[in-house]
């Protein structure tokens, strides 16, 4: 949970900083960060399921 919150907070902070810029490069980086964030969240969900299965 803490890791997920930190990832989300870090990405949100980066998004806000980059939104101030006007270049297209910032938008590309922003899209890349969002994609990585989605992958991390998906991976975290998968790990949660695996841990629950191991506990059973």
Tens-digit pLDDT profile for residues 6-48? 666 566 666 666 666 656 667 777 788 888 888 888 989 999 9
Q: What is the pTM of this model?
A: 0.55
Alpha carbons 30 and 24: distance in angstroms, whole number: 10
Residue 10, φ and ψ in degrees, nearest 5:
-65, -45
Structure-token match 């890791």, residue found: 3
Alpha carbons 5 and 24: distance in angstroms, whole number: 28
Asked if 34 contacts 11 with a C-beta cutoff of 8 angstroms, the reply is: yes
pLDDT value at position 37? 87
């Amino acid at each position: 949970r803490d890791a997920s919150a930190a990832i989300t907070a870090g990405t949100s902070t980066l998004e806000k900083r980059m939104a101030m810029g006007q270049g297209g490069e910032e938008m590309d980086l922003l899209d890349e960060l969002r994609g990585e964030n989605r992958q991390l969240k998906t991976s975290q969900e998968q790990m949660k399921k695996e841990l629950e299965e191991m506990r059973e």
